[in-house]
Chains A and B, each alone.
Chain A
Amino acid sequence: MLFNSYPFIFLFLPVVLFGYFALGRRSHILLPVSISFYSFTQIAFLVDAYRGNVARYALPHYALFVTYFPHLIAGPILHHKDIIPQFERADAKRPDPHLILCGLIIFGIGLFKKTGLADGIQPLVALAFGQATPSFDQAWIGAPAYTFQLYFDFSAYSDMAIGMSLMFGIFLPLNFNSPYKATSIIEFWRRWHMTLSQFLRDYLYIPLGGNRRGRVLRYLNLMITMLLGGLWHGAAWTFVAWGALHGAYLCINHAWSYFAPKPGLRLAPLARLAAFVLTFLAVVVAWVFFRADSMAQALSILSKMADPTRIVFGGAEIAKAALIALYAVIAWFLLNTQEIMGYDHRNRTVGEHLRAVPMRPWFLYASAAALAFGILGIQQHSEFIYFRF
């Protein structure tokens, strides 16, 4: 295939990228909403058709797959082999009270994550990314604030999409699996925006040769994949830097796994803790590029994060740091949505503990509270961060 070859990458890609950057700077060009997400699904469909891996689908099912609304604006990225067979099932055409109940609870959790958690921490992001130059502590509050805001915002949309779809009897793939619990960057990408990672792996990294052509080319393929993954988010150098940083992280992580000695049994818990902290810090640093308006702003914030000579840490900063700590506890130690609901995408099961018995009171109240507070938190000037990608 032409697209699998390095000559294509090195000869044509610069031309494509130049056009992309040139178009990206012309903000008046209007693009259809969610173009990137249905482009992904169609690329996958066309490539699989070329490979002869596409079954014969009925046109209405294919059309429904392309236009299936719950996921359209911010994912998860759907795959025809996963979704169209579900449309073809007869029992998917009848309302199932159990799936409606579970879908509503998952939707409620997602809505609460968005309006209660992501929007709640949003004002703290300005400490690092606002107009004023941050101090050391303000930068270290603002950068993690964005780290948690983005996670709760984006995973909220995925939960809501999964919940909505479940009410129609369709199981969407998981997109998040507590990514900040990861103890390596490799694991992080298995837990963060999982359907994008799978798409990039199956339709970019593996066609480029993946890890089959030696270690050096594997690292090169990783870098290319992550750079393009970064560019997918927008025509800006900050996204290029974010992708390059994650590409470098992955290369270092793979090299470390290969060359470094394994820790002994006694040191394993300590090594695991260090790996967890290092992974989280690396992710926070990369998000600074992702969020910053320019490379200059990103470098300025990072320089403040590395300069402990200017510390404010007044009452406001202490209160905000406590709020960040609360978000960290939620992200690191609480169960995620699929664990709470027993959502098993592969086996098409969910909430089996709710199927035959009345809901326990605490679960009923907690679910209703999530849905109610999610509704109460809806604000006029709040949108999902990933709507713009």
Chain B
Amino acid sequence: MSVSGKNLLRLLGTCAALLAGAAALTFIVDPLQIFRPARLFAAMYSTDTRLQNAGLIQSQDFDTVFMGTSLAIHFRQSDVDKALDVRSLKLAMTGSNSHEQVFVLAAALQRHPDRVIWELDDWIFCDAVDIDANPYLPADLYRRNAKGIARYLFNGAMARESAWILARSIPPLSNLAARLSTDAVFSFTVPNVDDIFVLSSDIDVGKAYNATKTTAAFTNITDPARSAGFAEGYNYDAMVRNFESDAVGLIASNPDVDFDIYFPPYSILQWVAMRDGSPATLKIVYDLTTHINRRLAEFPNVRLHDFRAVRDVTHDLDNYSDVIHHSPAIDLKVLSWLANGTYLVDRSAPTASLERLRAQVEDYQIDTDRVAR
């Protein structure tokens, strides 16, 4: 064999050895805790929830799953546990659609929890790409098939995170490694599962949530240049189809699981923005909600809670950082309402809460002094 031929073989052999070494490191440290809960090394968690959830489902003990979008992402699992007397696992994902939520919930239900708490936004039922075409959700890792496991093990980012978690566990390096734990370089920077995506303790809640920010957001989204965005993706037939195939499909196939589904308390300005900027979109939301409420009332394992017309909260704009996202104080109120069934939808009158919301939206007068145009 020529010298070049030998060099080529040495190069390929060394490359294969490095690939195997990286895969072995990821397998041993297992940053996502896919293969085993963290014991040898301190557990670290990522705020990339679409990725992290695949590991949480395997590694955590839970009897209740908490799902939703960014409206549910700041909840603390410990608060959920205390309020509802459960052992919960939060799997909320920012900007998630119904395909993603139902796929992740279905994976979690394979661990046989008793209960699902599901924060439901109407927009999650807009058409979205299929799970296997979604580049941000590692579907094969949830399925734990060979392709998903190979992608996890032969992954430079995971090998880097593994090396860093390993460094944090070696006493002479641990302090330095902890100091370097910046999200500019590393993804797994959260040491406690309860802290994933909760608001940092040094955040000034009064500054983050106030009427000034809420009205500024309202002004922004109702700007004629942007208000066309309201209607984006809203198609009644498609949304009903996605609701039926995703939500109803999951509920019907898990009759032994209790579903506590709730509509979150958006600020009244969310509805007023639609009322004034895109009445057709508002009608789609009303019609879709009517369908959802009536349909869910048919399932004995579903309790539907509707917080959208809780005037004390939704009309107090200091509770929000924009027109929909509420403060941690409202998180706790939501949990107490869920625990007490305060706003449980009556199966015999499934659209009564919607009618209250409709009346509030029609009556609401914008405080023009606050909402600068």
Say yes or no: B19 contacts A372, CB within 8 Å: yes
Residues on the B chain within 8 Å of A116, using CB? 156
* A372, closest chain B residue (CB): B18
User: Is the C-beta of A124 less than 8 angstroms from some C-beta in chain B?
Assistant: yes
In the complex, the answer to whether A376 meets B11 with C-beta atoms within 8 Å is no
Alpha-carbon gap, A323 to B184, bound state (A): 8
Are B15 and A377 in contact (CB-based, < 8 A)? no
- Pairwise interchain contact A97-B5, C-beta atoms closer than 8 A: yes
Partner of A354, one of B7, B156, B157, B184: B7
* CB–CB A375/B19 < 8 A: yes
The answer on a CB contact under 8 Å between A359 and B185 is no
Interface presence of A105 (CB below 8 A): yes
Q: Contact check: which of A115, A124, A367, A376 meets B154 at CB < 8 Å?
A: A376
Q: Mark A354-379, 1 if CB is under 8 A from B, else 0.
A: 11111100001101110111011101
A356-B182 CB under 8 A given contacts A97-B8, A364-B11, A376-B154: no
A357 to B159 CA separation, bound complex (whole angstroms): 33
Q: What residues of B have a CB within 8 angstroms of the CB of A323 in the complex?
A: 184-185
Q: List residues of A (101-134) whose CB comes within 8 Å of B's CBs.
A: 101, 104-105, 108, 115-116, 123-124
Within 8 A of A (CB), among B17-32: 17-19, 22
Q: Which of A188-196, A223-231, A314-322 contacts B (4 or more CB under 8 A)?
A: A314-322
Q: How many residues of B contact A (CB 8 A)?
A: 29
If the complex has contacts A97-B4, A372-B19, A376-B159, are A319 and B11 also in contact, measured as CB distance less than 8 A? no
Q: Is A220 an interface residue (CB 8 A)?
A: no
* Residues of B close to A357: CB separation below 8 A: 3
How far apart are the CA atoms of A323 and B6 in the complex, in Å? 38
B156/A100 in contact, CB under 8 A? no
9 sampled A-B residue pairs with Cβ under 8 A: A96-B4, A104-B11, A104-B12, A123-B184, A316-B184, A359-B7, A367-B11, A368-B11, A372-B14
Is B135 in the interface zone, CB < 8 Å from A?
yes
A61 interface residue (CB < 8 Å to B)? no
Q: Which residues in A have their C-beta under 8 angstroms from that of B184?
A: 123-124, 316, 319-320, 323
A368 pairs with B154, CB closer than 8 A: no
A-B pairs, top 10 by smallest CB distance, nearest first, are A376-B156, A381-B135, A368-B14, A372-B18, A98-B4, A97-B4, A377-B156, A319-B182, A319-B184, A368-B15
Using a CB–CB distance below 8 Å, which chain B residues touch chain A? 2-8, 10-12, 14-15, 17-19, 22, 135-136, 138, 151, 154-157, 159, 182-185
Cα A372 to Cα B14 in complex, Å, equals 9
A367-B11, A368-B18, A375-B19 are known contacts; what are 18 more A-B pairs with Cβ within 8 Å? A98-B2, A101-B7, A101-B11, A104-B8, A108-B15, A123-B184, A323-B184, A358-B6, A358-B10, A364-B7, A364-B11, A371-B11, A372-B14, A372-B15, A373-B18, A376-B155, A380-B151, A381-B136
Q: How far is the CB of A61 from chain B (nearest CB, A)?
A: 27
Interface hits, A322-374 → B, CB 8 Å: 323, 354-359, 364-365, 367-369, 371-373
Which single member of A319, A372, A377 contacts B157 (CB below 8 Å)?
A377
Q: How many contacting A-B pairs (Cβ < 8 A)?
A: 84
Q: Which B residues are in CB contact (< 8 Å) with A115?
A: 156
User: Which residues of A sit under 8 angstroms from B155, Cβ to Cβ?
Assistant: 376
In the bound complex, residues from chain A placing their C-beta under 8 Å from that of B183 are 316
**Is there an interface contact between A372 and B135, defined as CB atoms closer than 8 Å?**
no
Interfacial chain A residues near B159, Cβ < 8 Å: 376
CA distance A116 to B2 in the complex (A): 32
The distance from the CB of A326 to the nearest CB of chain B, in whole angstroms, is 10
A130 to chain B, nearest CB (A): 14
A89 to chain B, nearest CB (A): 19
- In whole angstroms, what is the CA distance A159 to B38 when docked? 41
Residues of A within 8 A of B10 (CB): 358-359, 364
Q: Is the Cβ of A319 less than 8 Å from the Cβ of B185?
A: yes
- Report the minimum CB–CB distance from B226 to chain A (whole Å): 13
Contact A355 B14 (CB under 8 A): no
Given contacts A97-B2, A124-B184, contact A359 B154 (CB under 8 A): no
Q: Which residues of B contact A316 (CB under 8 A)?
A: 182-184
Complex CA distance for A100 and B8, rounded to whole angstroms: 8
User: When chains A and B are docked, how far (Å) is the Cα of A373 from the Cα of B182?
Assistant: 22
Give the residues in chain A near B3, CB-CB below 8 Å: 355-358
Taken together as a complex, chains A and B put the C-alpha atoms of A365 and B21 apart, in Å, by 14
How far apart sit A97 and B6, CA to CA, in the bound complex (Å)? 9
Nearest to A323 among chain B residues (CB) is: B184
B322 CB to nearest A CB, Å:
12
CA distance A375 to B16 in the complex (A): 10
Q: Are A354 and B15 in contact (CB under 8 A)?
A: no
